[in-house]
Amino acid sequence: MSETLQTAVIGVTGYAGAELARLLLRHPRLHGAPPVFAGRLDSRDAARGGIPLAEIHPELADSKGSGNLLMQPFSWDLLTDLDVKVLFLATPHEQSREWVPEALARGLRVIDLSGAWRLNEAVNREIYAFEDEGSANALKTQSEAVYGMPELHRAEIAGAQLVANPGCYATSIILGIKPLVAAGLVDLDAGIIADAKSGVSGAGKAPTAKTHFMYAADNLSTYGVFSHRHTGELLEQIGIASDAIVFTPHLLPIPRGILSTIYVRFHEPQTRAKVLHTFQSFFTGSPMVRLHEHGLPQILHVARTSYADIGFQLSSDGRRAIIVSCLDNLLKGASSQAVQNLNVMQGWDEQEGLE
């Protein structure tokens, strides 16, 4: 593919949008073709042609003039005129539901970071209360969506027009447990417990009472119990029934990172060598997953990296295991996974621009 592939990012103002911009601006395949940045602007900013990237994210200013790139007023004509081929949406799911069908109709390939198109089952989508749920247009678009986890769906992503980037919690938990479930080792009747903790950036940039410093600092709290939006992703991608897992998210008083502790029981006693081999076999050819052969992962070691780190320990009788899965929620849980999907879609090395 040409190194002058033109991409566009809608939704650069958020935390994930900033990381996505940083990765694309530095991607070795995109030299000479910085992303087009666009979004909704007020009349004052629209009149001056847009907002310089450095005003939105000063950390993106560099010696190449990246900070002078403008977030321009969004229009389909803009994308057409600039010959955009791949569109990244770091937008609320309502916006993605509206724009993705139009983007596909215009021949664009789309990588959507929202939850708009991740779920195949209507019962799992109910939590989003999509206004267009069940419409012919929505069902057609959903049928074209590929769940954007290369470790599971690499071949389908390569040819996809629409890639639905996974949720951050879902990425952590699916990577941690899917290999063992797929191998038939886990006793699903005994249930899986996924105890997951995320930094405050996982809640997005807009401040709320529970992400305010005075609430989150020096605190640890649960939320979304039995009702978190990522639950449906776990059920569909791991391939389990809703009563086979208990997923509890927690808010950590740190800026970024996720640590998921997953508790399972096996049908039969397992050795460490067999469990490790199961993980190694599943993740062969998956460069963004690092397996810990000794010790357990920590958020400190994945923060600001594009890796997911996975480790485990067995009980003395080999019947139970605790798996720990860590990642940066803004990177492997969002933006770097989106770029990883871009690499797969373009036939480039999967880790290019991410290590």
Catalytic residues: 168
Separation of alpha carbons 339 and 7, rounded Å: 11
3-state secondary structure 305-331: CCCEEEEEEECCCCCEEEEEEEECCCC
Identify the burial level of 259 via C-beta atoms within 10 angstroms of its C-beta, where 0-12 means exposed, 13-18 middle and 19 or more buried.
buried
Strand runs (DSSP E) across 84-124, as ranges?
86-89, 109-112
Rg of the chain over CA atoms, in angstroms?
20
Report whether 149 contacts 177 (CB < 8 A).
no
Tokens of 47: 């009149």
Name the one residue in this structure whose structure tokens are 């909704």. Answer: 40
> 4 — phi, psi (to 5°)?
-100, 20
Output the CA torsion 220→309→343→121 (10° steps): -60
C-alpha separations of 21 from 51, 93, 95, 336 in Å: 14, 19, 19, 10
Instruction: Give DSSP secondary structure letters for 199-227.
Output: -GGGG-SS--TTTSHHHHTT--EE--TTT
Helix-strand-coil split of the chain, %, nearest 5: 40, 20, 40
Tokens standing for 332?
């492997």
